[in-house]
Structure 1
Amino acid sequence: MKFITLLVSLLVLAGCASGPRIDTSHPSVNQDNRIQFVVVHYTSASLERSLALLTRGEVSSHYLVGDDKNATIYKLVDENRRAWHAGESEWQGRTWLNSSSIGIEIVNPGFTDTPTGRVWYPYSEAQVQSLIFLLKDINKRNGISPRQVIGHSDIAPLRKLDPGPLFPWKRLAEAGVALWPNEQAVAREQARFAAQLPSISWFQEQLSHLGYTTPQTGELDVATRHVLAAFQMRFRPTLFDGTPDAQSAAILQVLNQTK
């Protein structure tokens, strides 16, 4: 009897140890990829310093594009894991984008303030080519549309300027990996808006519709100027002073009508 009791106990324990059966034959159709966006940054540091900061500091990114002759791509964090590159951020109503994005840092000094004004530093042709190669791969694997490739200044316009006005958004758009407005359509809309500039409320609504977190006050407050300047730096980098004008209105209109 003792033997039978012991045998039953062992069988029960064995069943508990193996756990319940997990049935995977009913996958839900209501799901999508955790990765919704790609966020591009510059490092404001040398390659050596950038690698140190992104691997042993308090921040990180999934990829780093170097400034060597071949613009080497360094993979620093697996795409399935969260990297700390976005900080306090928001885009299209989603907050804290570390959890829903892939971060790409590019070795670039950013800018230098001089007595004659701010000097921005360009990206090398090798860096542009490496970035296009990387984005094509990331976007294809994760179903990322060109509209979902954004800059750090887009998601944090009150505190960030990267990747800056010299970042080649138009080149990326021509390669099919980023968003850029149709310039002929912009010219047509600009002529119309030159006759009657929309209200501040209109600008705020259109910026919000595009994805920017924008106050809806109807006033050209400091926050709205920052958001408009970030938008202008992205899509009209020759002038990004945060002042509403016909060309900015035309670009907004065209982008928001683009599928």
Structure 2
Amino acid sequence: MTRFLPLALFLLLLAGCSSGPHIDKRYVSANHDSREQFIVLHYTSTGFEQSVKLLTHGEVSAHYLIDRDPARIYQLVDENRRAWHAGESTWNGRTWLNSSSIGIEMINPGYRLNEDGQRVWYPYADAQIDELIVLLKDIMQRHGLGPDAVVGHSDIAPQRKVDPGPLFPWKRLADAGLIRWPDAASVERAQAVYANGLPDATWFQGELAKFGYDVPRTGLFDEQTRNVIAAFQMRYRQQRYDGQADAETAALLWVLNNSRRS
């Protein structure tokens, strides 16, 4: 039996070598924060069963999926792993946000086309948004994220995405303290000023960029700029998101950007 002892010692030493380097963790730097800087909200465009299939065995993924009936949160990817939900994207100068964001998909069909070819959007379930708010509060607290961290897919990719759509209740997130919301009285005063003289395209492009959008600096109200304006309006003026620059949109932008500076 003793002749097997050298082999046992050899295997023990080999196991020790394969366990990796010894790392001394007694010193901890104070200069760090979470790798996750943003939370991106999506709708699935399809039902629960198909969404689970696509998000677990397809080419896309998300960290969380929230069903609507019953309202339930499913974690599909660990937060310390990268999920494939954002695609080509930009926000606040950061690009390809898969590496720096947490993706949340919500079961919602998105929209259908009526006989006139117009989009008819589907609302979100109240209980589903209740669950989302609880989840957002938890994620933001754990990662030390502020009110500018929560964005829609349409915000980070306005040239190709429209989710979570104009019926997503951003105001409920604001009321829960999760995102900033413009003061109505300040917007009214600013709108009266801009009604007497609308800023030009260069101003709009600059203010949209300050807010976080990737917007062309052409000095023109071109299609790309109108798409970005529409994405902004879908958050803050959901009754009309036509992508047209007007006094109310200018006022909303100005108030929001100045509230961020104060």
TM (norm. structure 1) is: 0.90
Q: Give the Cα–Cα distance (whole angstroms) in 2 for the partners of residues 78 and 19 of structure 1.
A: 23
Q: Which residue of 2 aligns with 1:157?
A: 158
The 5-angstrom pairing of residues 154-193 of structure 1 reads 154-193=155-194
Residues 27-51 of structure 1: CA deviation (Å, up to 9, x unaligned) = 3443221010000000000011111
* Preserved contact between residue 202 and residue 220 of structure 2 (Cα < 8 Å): yes
> Would the aligned equivalents of 1:39 and 1:101 in 2 still touch at CA under 8 Å?
yes
- Verify the 8 A CA contact 1:149 1:179 in the aligned structure 2: no
Q: Distance in 2 between matches of 1:47 and 1:187?
A: 42
Tell me if structure 1 keeps the 8 A contact 2:67–2:107. yes
Shift of 1:26: 4.3
Change in Cα spacing, 1:150 to 1:20, as seen in structure 2 (3 Å) is: closer
Query: 1:4 maps to which residue?
Result: none
AA in 2 matched with 1:213 = D
Say if 2:138 is the partner of 1:134. Answer: no
Task: Name the amino acid aligned to 2:77.
Answer: V
**How much does 1:179 deviate?**
2.7
**Shift of the alpha carbon at 1:22?**
3.7
Give the counterpart letter for 1:114 in structure 2.
N
Pairing of 1:82-231 with structure 2 (within 5 A): 82-116=82-116, 117-231=118-232
- CA drift of 1:217 comes to 1.3
1:21-78 superposed Cα distances (whole Å, 9 cap, x missing partner):
6444443443221010000000000011111111111111010010213x01111111
Structure 1 unaligned residues grouped into runs of 5+:
1-9
Checking the alignment, whether the CA contact within 8 Å between 1:79 and 1:102 is kept in structure 2 is yes
SS where residue 146 of structure 1 aligns? coil
1:65 maps to 2:66? yes
What's the % identity of the aligned pairs? 59
Residue pair 2:63, 2:83 contacting (<8 A) in 1 also: yes
Does the 8 A contact of 2:39 with 2:151 survive in 1?
A: yes
| Unpaired stretches in structure 2, ≥5 consecutive residues | 1-9
Amino acid at match of 1:115: E
SS of residue matched to 1:150: strand
CA deviations on 1:88-141 (whole Å, 9 max, x unpaired) are 100000001011000000000000011242100000111111111111111111
Contact 2:90 2:97 in 1 (8 A): yes
SS at match of 1:65: strand
Shift of 1:182: 1.5
Alignment partner of 1:232 is 2:262 = no
- 1:144–1:19: structure 2 CA closer, same or farther, 3 Å change rule? closer
Change (3 A) 1:45 1:19: closer
Separation in structure 2 between the aligned mates of residue 21 and residue 103 of structure 1, nearest angstrom: 34
Q: Which residue number in structure 2 is paired with residue 51 of structure 1? A: 52
Q: Which runs of 4+ in 1 moved over 2 A?
A: 16-31
Alignment partners' CA distance in 2, 1:19 and 1:42: 42
Equivalent-residue separation in structure 2 for 1:24 and 1:75 (angstroms): 30
Offset from partner CA, 1:140-192 (integer Å, 9 cap, x none): 11111121100000000000000000000001110111232111211111111
Shift of 1:20: 6.7
Deviations 1:189-238, CA, capped at 9 Å, x for gaps: 11111111111100000000000001111111111111111111111111
SS of aligned partner of 1:147: coil
Q: Distance in 2 between matches of 1:252 and 1:38?
A: 21
What residue in structure 2 maps to residue 258 of structure 1?
259
CA distance in 2, matches of 1:178, 1:48: 31
Q: Distance in 2 between matches of 1:35 and 1:84?
A: 14
C-alpha separation in 1, matches of 2:151 and 2:168 = 11
Structure 1 pair 220–75 and aligned structure 2 pair: CA distance change class (3 A): same
Q: 1:50 to 1:24 in 2, by over 3 A?
A: same
Partner residue in 1 for 2:76? 76
Does the 8 Å CA contact 2:153/2:164 hold for their aligned counterparts?
yes
